[in-house]
Structure 1
């Protein structure tokens, strides 16, 4: 009698995409290189808690690429120059077998974004190793032979496992940009939130990425030091970023969801959250300490106090500082209106308060929630939790 057929891992393949990507990669093709986070100990991050890390095989990722390519060819043939229509796409998708719907939608989203970028998921795109990553990049470029950028999240510790020549080879194979969460340049803050990397390691890794010719998008988290370490967090983060001088500095303001270790520290009183004025003063000090940076400051996230706090460094620093200073001198009622409008999603920055329609929408949210200068901080904290 014949032996039962043994199903290999590659035969169990199905198309996968992970849960997260940067806002700048909203129209990218998302390729899942690994599942979840290899570190997963940061006290502020809820995303991968309780989920086991694993690597996907190069063969499975190649299959992901191939199935997207097949659907992309079909879409181009069917559309024949017509614009993408969401209702038509949904109709086409719903007539596909269940296993084909996710890659079809991934191809359609990528096509709608101009086929300009591929993002390697999940939390650390470099964790697969240089040989495996090179094989993935080679297959990407062979399958899609037009110019596009390839980006990924990475941890500083993982970057430091790569030799400079390995990073250079990946850049030559098409790796364009890495997104690294420094979160802070203050060693005390980094230890308290279990980031798993020191200030010196962040600086060394950032410089290594830049020396390889790979663009670096470095993240800092306003508020992460709490009240006690706010000033040190601001100064040390700015000085670390000046030492690295990345192409992009991105702000991601702290919000504390339930179920993470930092929530327990906050509830017990061991960690004190900054209120909006304290957060603004921290931002102002951060901006006052960034004179040696030359990249773009980007505030592209709903959690940030100002989503329009963006500009070229150091040229735009006076303008950026004046935006924060304007918030700090707002009368209490005006500040309450702005905060609720901002956290309620109808305002991006202070300039939007000059728009009668947006101002009216913010006032309506204030009335609905019963927001006053006395309770606005708590209301906004709850609104921010919904955005995580």
Structure 2
């Protein structure tokens, strides 16, 4: 099996077979992301090569592969026919396969439209991980996400209507001190409208070689401290009515929140309030990410 460039996968795909379908990211402009800033440039692998890797994986792991993840940063940008073809091939190669997953940004999902998403679901694509980051259009423009809240909402709804699972990722603190309240409130609005299967929380860690870190160093962006992040999280959860599973399954977060919304909202808020009584020095230190 062949791989090119950084290969990232969500923690929830830790046990999945990784077969690379694309390299790099076709957007690659987000100010907080360093993953593909030094390449490789976005490209889509030939289906022939992808199928060869799937067949090789069958020889290595046998037929009992249950979950498959196609990296890299935006595999949903593949032509629908090609992505359908490799999903169908994977299903035939691994008859016990329960889930096929990709990363996808809202702008590329939106370009597909509902009918193409339905075709992908029929071919076997069953989950998409989407970096919502924020529902605040001011923040989305600042971080050069390449999308806006309405597009993110429509794309998310189409995924759900097509019959696929949707994981939406929120970056706590991505608005800095001046946008913390709008970030929480506007993000909750998008999530309430979409009602994704999973809401996954990440806390902003500035990364080396990114425009966002330069903004921090110049004093143009003021990052939140632990208590401020927790208060922002509380405001987000207070405004959430979506029937989704909430998970903070990442090393960047200050506390672990995991459970079903809205049933466990009170429990989450109690956890946050208890954590706010801790001294800030008891939380993980501020650091700059290198990966």
The TM-score, its normalising length taken from structure 2, stands at: 0.96
Partner of 1:68: 57
Provide the rounded CA distance (Å) in 1 between the counterparts of 2:12 and 2:198. Answer: 11
Match of 1:143 in 2: 93
State yes or no: 1:316 paired with 2:221: no
Say whether residues 1:177 and 2:127 are aligned partners.
yes
Task: For residue 38 of structure 1, report the CA deviation from its aligned partner.
Answer: 0.6
**Match of 1:268?**
218
- 1-side partners of 2:174 and 2:22: how far apart? 27
Q: Cα distance, 1:115 vs. partner?
A: 2.4
Question: Cα distance, 1:71 vs. partner?
Answer: 1.7
* 1:316-353: CA deviation from partner (whole Å, max 9, x where unpaired): 000001101111123x3xx423x1xxx3xxxxxxxxxx
Match of 2:245 in 1: 296
How far the C-alpha of 1:53 sits from its partner, in A, is 1.1
Deviations 1:244-296 (A, max 9, x none): 10000001110002210001111101100011111111111011110x21010
1:236 aligns with 2:141: no
Q: Does the CA contact (< 8 Å) of 1:171 and 1:214 recur in 2?
A: yes
Measure, in 2, the Cα distance between the counterparts of 1:241 and 1:267. Answer: 32
Question: What is the distance in 2 between the residues matched to 1:385 and 1:213?
Answer: 36
Deviation at 1:116, TM superposition (A): 2.0
Alignment of 1:270-289 (within 5 A): 270-289=220-239
Q: 1:41 aligns with which of 29, 33, 49?
A: 29
CA distance in 1, matches of 2:48, 2:206: 38
Does the residue aligned with 1:65 lie in a helix, a strand or coil? Answer: helix
Report matched runs for 1:142-221 at 5 Å.
142-221=92-171
2:281 is the alignment partner of 1:336? yes
TM-score, structure 1 normalization: 0.72
Does 2:9 correspond to 1:21?
Answer: yes
State which structure, 1 or 2, has the greater radius of gyration over its C-alpha atoms. 1
Q: Which residue of 1 aligns with 2:289?
A: 385
CA deviation after TM superposition for structure 1 residue 163, in Å: 2.9
Match for residue 245 of structure 1? 195
Q: Matches of 2:154 and 2:243 in 1, distance apart?
A: 18
Residues 16 and 64, structure 1, Cα contact 8 Å, conserved in 2: no
Instruction: Figure out how many residues of one structure are paired with residues of the other and give that number.
Output: 289
State the alpha-carbon separation in 2 of the partners of residues 159 and 140 from structure 1.
21
Counterpart CA distance in 2 for 1:160 and 1:255 is 28
Q: Please list the CA deviations of residues 343-382 of structure 1 after superposition, one character each: whole Å capped at 9, or x if unmatched.
A: 3xxxxxxxxxxxxxxxxxxxxxxxxxxxxxxxxxxxx112
Shift of residue 181, structure 1, vs aligned partner: 0.2
Larger RCO (CA under 8 A, 6+ residues apart): 2
Superposition misfits of 4+ residues, deviation over 3 angstroms: none
1:118-175 per-residue CA deviation (whole Å, 9 max, x = no partner) reads 0011011211111000110111111111232001100101111113221111111111
Which structure shows the higher helix fraction? Answer: 1
Match of 2:77 in 1: 127
- Give the gaps of 5 or more residues in structure 2: none
Verify the 8 A CA contact 1:223 1:254 in the aligned structure 2.
yes
Q: CA RMSD in A?
A: 1.4
